[in-house]
Amino acid sequence: MPVKFNQYWTIISERREEYGNFIIKEFIPGINSLGIHVVAGWSVLVGSYSEMIVESMSNDLELIEKALKNPKFKELQDNLLTYVKAYKTKVLVPAGSKDSYTTDIKEDTIKFNQMWDVISKTKDEYENYVLNEYYPLLEESNIAVAGEWQVLIGDGPHIICEGRVRDTEKLIKTIQSKKFRRARRKLKGFVENFECRILSFHIQKVKGYKSSSYHMLEI
pTM over the 0.85 mark: yes
DSSP assigned state of 103: S
Q: Do residues 49 and 43 touch, judged by C-beta distance below 8 A? A: no
Distance CA 152, CA 158 (A): 8
Q: Are 31 and 76 in contact, with CB atoms under 8 Å apart?
A: yes
pLDDT of 158 reads 96
> What's the distance, Cα to Cα, between the start and end of the chain in Å?
33
- Strand pairing class (110-118; 3-11): unpaired
Domains of the chain, first to last: 3-93+200-216 (3.30.70.100), 110-198 (3.30.70.100)
The predicted structure's pLDDT at residue 100: 61
* Below-70 pLDDT ranges, the chain: 97-101, 208-211, 219
Residue 157, preceding peptide bond in cis (omega within 30° of 0): yes
pLDDT of residue 143: 94
